[in-house]
């Protein structure tokens, strides 16, 4: 049994708790136990428990990492996986000088210092999570994704607890859609409501068929590993082919799943914030807000979206935008 403790020094400030709990569409928050955030990570195909600890309010200090696996995994493999998920090599001070240069964006820094991209550990998980998040509340899609992992992911046991991986496209595409289908599969015994091992019972609603079909496409039609090597526009058009994926979800997938910083996901709130800050509150349609964001913020678009939303949430701007 491999057990080791590592340290990581982020490039600039990092707020672990804020980042994990900021509701990004990549994955639900990690489990929080004994002052550390925990998750199962597949590192080069090897299941590995990771516990990350950050001293409270020590946004500029190093992180302490606890890793546990029955496989032997190099320190650098573990570090690079964690660095990738939290975008720790990204120079945030460079982002901040960009934000400082703008009168509109400068105020976000004080509210969001240390907030980073919370990338999915695997693109497929991000695709499904993002589809699930559309027209949905954070609490509900988080719950759905956790159930999907528990029901169809592989279970791995560690000294620190048991965890489930996210199911593969092939596994997910074969999952029964609803209780009726599952009951028929099991020989029609009992009532439909007795059956819980189906996608609909995870509370995904009408997104059910989208998620199953997206899983099938990821398995047999679209090479989702290749998306990361494509340029942004091609990748955008490619992910739009998945059912349940429109412009907003596509941008989420490219940003949270593939780390493409020029993506600018526009939901109702970002639309209202952009309208309030840059268009004298006149109504702006999502495509226009998206184009504006991409041209105005360039490679920082994704982060600006992240910072604007959390700034608006904490500063009270969001509240003021609710009432007309």
Partner DNA sequence: AACCAGGTAATCG
Partner DNA sequence: CGATTACCTGGT
The residues that touch DNA, with contacts defined as CB under 7 A, are 22-25, 133-140, 200, 203-207, 210, 242-250, 252, 265, 267-269, 285, 309, 322
Give the nearer residue to DNA in terms of CB position, either 62 or 247. 247
Q: Which of 90, 115, 119 is nearest to 18 (CA)?
A: 115
Which residues have C-beta within 8 Å of that of residue 51, sequence separation ≥ 6? 33, 36, 37, 38, 65, 66, 67, 160
Give the nearer residue to DNA in terms of CB position, either 38 or 129. 129
Asked about 104 being catalytic, the answer comes back as no
H or E segment and range at residue 264: none
Query: What is d(CA 220, CA 206) in angstroms, rounded to the nearest whole number?
Result: 23
Closest approach of DNA to the CB of residue 33, in Å: 23
Closest approach of DNA to the CB of residue 133, in Å: 6
Give the nearer residue to DNA in terms of CB position, either 2 or 268. 268
DSSP letters along 131-200, please? HHHTTS-HHHHHHHHHHHHHHHSPEEEETTEEEEPPPPHHHHHTS-SSHHHHHHHTTS-S-GGG---SGG
Give the nearer residue to DNA in terms of CB position, either 22 or 262. 22
Closest approach of DNA to the CB of residue 222, in Å: 14
Closest approach of DNA to the CB of residue 269, in Å: 5
The answer to whether residues 152 and 144 touch, using CB atoms and an 8 Å cutoff, is no
Select which of 248, 285, 322, 324 is catalytic.
Answer: 248
Query: What is d(CA 232, CA 210) in angstroms, rounded to the nearest whole number?
Result: 23
Query: What is d(CA 279, CA 288) in angstroms, rounded to the nearest whole number?
Result: 11
Give the nearer residue to DNA in terms of CB position, either 92 or 132. 132
Closest approach of DNA to the CB of residue 69, in Å: 31
Q: List, by residue number, the catalytic residues.
A: 248
């Amino acid at each position: 049994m491999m057990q080791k403790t590592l340290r990581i020094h982020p490039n600039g400030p990092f707020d672990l708790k804020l980042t994990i709990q900021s509701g990004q569409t990549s994955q639900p928050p990690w489990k929080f136990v004994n002052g550390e955030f925990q998750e199962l990570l597949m590192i080069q195909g090897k299941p590995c428990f990771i516990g990350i600890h950050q001293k409270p309010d020590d946004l500029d200090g190093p992180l302490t990492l606890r890793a546990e696996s029955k496989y032997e995994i190099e320190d650098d493999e573990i570090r690079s996986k964690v660095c990738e998920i939290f975008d720790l090599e990204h120079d945030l001070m460079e982002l901040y000088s960009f934000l400082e240069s703008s009168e509109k964006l400068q105020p976000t820094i004080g509210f969001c210092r240390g907030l980073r991209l919370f990338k999915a550990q695997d693109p497929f998980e991000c695709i499904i999570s993002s589809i699930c998040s559309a027209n949905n509340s954070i609490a509900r899609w988080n719950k759905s994704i956790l159930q999907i992992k528990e029901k169809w992911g592989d279970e791995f046991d560690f000294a620190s607890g048991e965890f489930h991986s996210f199911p593969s496209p092939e596994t997910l595409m074969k999952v029964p859609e609803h209780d009726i289908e599952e009951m028929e599969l099991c020989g029609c015994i009992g009532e439909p409501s007795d059956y819980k091992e189906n996608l609909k019972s995870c509370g995904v609603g009408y997104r059910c068929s989208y998620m199953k079909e997206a899983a099938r496409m990821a398995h047999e039609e679209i090479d989702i590993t290749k998306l990361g090597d494509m340029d942004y526009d091609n990748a955008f058009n490619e992910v739009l082919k998945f059912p349940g994926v429109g412009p907003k979800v596509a941008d989420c997938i490219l940003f949270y799943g593939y780390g493409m910083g020029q993506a600018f996901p526009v939901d109702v709130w970002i639309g209202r914030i952009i309208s309030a800050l840059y268009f004298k509150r006149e109504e702006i349609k999502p495509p226009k807000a998206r184009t504006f964001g991409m041209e105005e913020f360039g490679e920082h678009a994704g982060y600006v979206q992240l910072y604007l939303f959390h700034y608006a949430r904490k500063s009270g701007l969001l509240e003021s935008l609710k009432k007309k």
